[in-house]
Copies of this chain bind each other. A is one copy, B any other.
Amino acid sequence: MPQQIVVVKLGGAAAQSVEEFAEDAAAQIRAGRRLVLVHGGSDDTNRLSEQLGHPPRFITSPSGHTSRRTDARTLEIMQMACRGALNQRVVAALQRRGVNAVGVSGVDGRVWEGERKAAVRSVEDGRIVMVRDDYTGTVSRVNVSLLRTLMEAGFTPVLCPPAISTNNEPINVDADRAAAVTAAALGASDLLLLTSAPGLLRQFPDESSLIRRIPRGQAESAQEFAQGRMKKKVMGATEALVGGVKRVVIGDARRARPIEAALAGEGTVLE
C-alpha cells in the first residue's frame, strides 16, 4: 500500500516560528509520513506592503466577508513576500534538517488553477461598488502532476499562493481552502489546518469551549461557530471531507510539535 499523504497548512504561530515547524515536519517525514506543506503569507504581505508605501486594503462584501484588495501591485508584493521570502525560509529550514524540499506556487506547473473574479462587490461608505481590477479567485482545479512527480522522486513540496487563472494571470487565493482542495485531489488521508487557537471554539474567544469532534455530516453547520478567518478553515474542512479526505484537524499552531499533536487528534477533529 502506498504511504498515506498528509497535507499540512501552516498558519498563525507556525508561520512565525519556521524553524520549530520544520523540526516537527522533518520528524514526521523521518517517521515515514509523506507530507505536502502549504502556507499563505498574509502577515508578511501586510508588512511588506507597509514598507513599500502601498498599505494593505481590504474589501468587505455585502454579506460581511472581508478579503484582501489585490490590485496588480499588491499581487506582486504578495508574490515577493510569499514565494520570494517566506516560502524560501521554509524550504531552507527543511533542507537544514535533511528534507529535500521544493517550493512551488500555484503558478508553477499550474498546480492551482481557478477563475479570476470579473468583479468583486465591495461595501464602501454604505454603498455597494464594483471593484474590477482585483486579482482574486478560488482554486477550482488542482493539477496534481507536478506534485506527484516531485513526491515520487522523493521531494517534499512546499506550496503557496498565488494560483493561476484560466486566463493565465496570477490570482490571490485563500491558502486554507487551496490546501483543502489539494488534499482532496491528492487523495490525502489527513488535512491539518494549523492556527493560533486550540481549534474551533463554541464561544469564541473562550479557549475552554473547544469543540473536540464534529461528525462529517455536521461540518457545514459548524460554520455558525466560526469567526473571521476561521470561517475559511471550516469551509475548507467541509470541502476536503466532501472530496474524500478521511480526517481534517484544526489544530493549535502555538504549541510545541503542532503537526504531531494534530495527528494525535488534538484540536477540532472533523471526520
Q: Which residues on A are within 8 Å of B, measured CB to CB?
A: 48, 51-53, 76, 79-85, 87-88, 91-92, 95-96, 100-105, 107-110, 145-146, 149-150, 153, 155, 162, 164, 168-170
Contact = CB atoms under 8 A, between A and B. Distances in A.
A169 B95 CA distance: 9
A170 B107 contact: no
Given A83-B88, A103-B108, A145-B153, 16 more contacts: A51-B52, A52-B52, A76-B85, A79-B88, A80-B80, A80-B84, A81-B84, A83-B84, A88-B162, A91-B107, A92-B107, A92-B164, A100-B109, A103-B105, A146-B155, A149-B150
A91 B110 CA distance: 10
A85 B153 CA distance: 27
30 contacts: A48-B80, A51-B52, A52-B52, A79-B85, A79-B88, A80-B80, A80-B84, A82-B84, A83-B84, A83-B88, A84-B84, A84-B85, A88-B105, A88-B107, A88-B170, A91-B107, A92-B107, A92-B164, A92-B169, A95-B110, A95-B164, A96-B168, A100-B109, A100-B110, A102-B109, A103-B107, A145-B153, A146-B153, A146-B155, A149-B153
A113 to B, nearest CB: 10
The 7 closest A-B pairs by CB, nearest first: A84-B84, A80-B84, A80-B80, A96-B168, A149-B153, A102-B108, A79-B84
A147 to B, nearest CB: 11
A52 to B, nearest CB: 6
A96 B162 CA distance: 15
A146 B155 CA distance: 8
Given A104-B102, A149-B153, A85 B95 contact: no
Contacts of A79: 84-85, 88
Contacts of A164: 92, 95
Contacts of A102: 104, 108-109, 146
Nearest to A109: B102
Contacts of A105: 88, 103
Contacts of A87: 83
Nearest to A170: B92
A162 B100 CA distance: 16
A153 B146 CA distance: 8
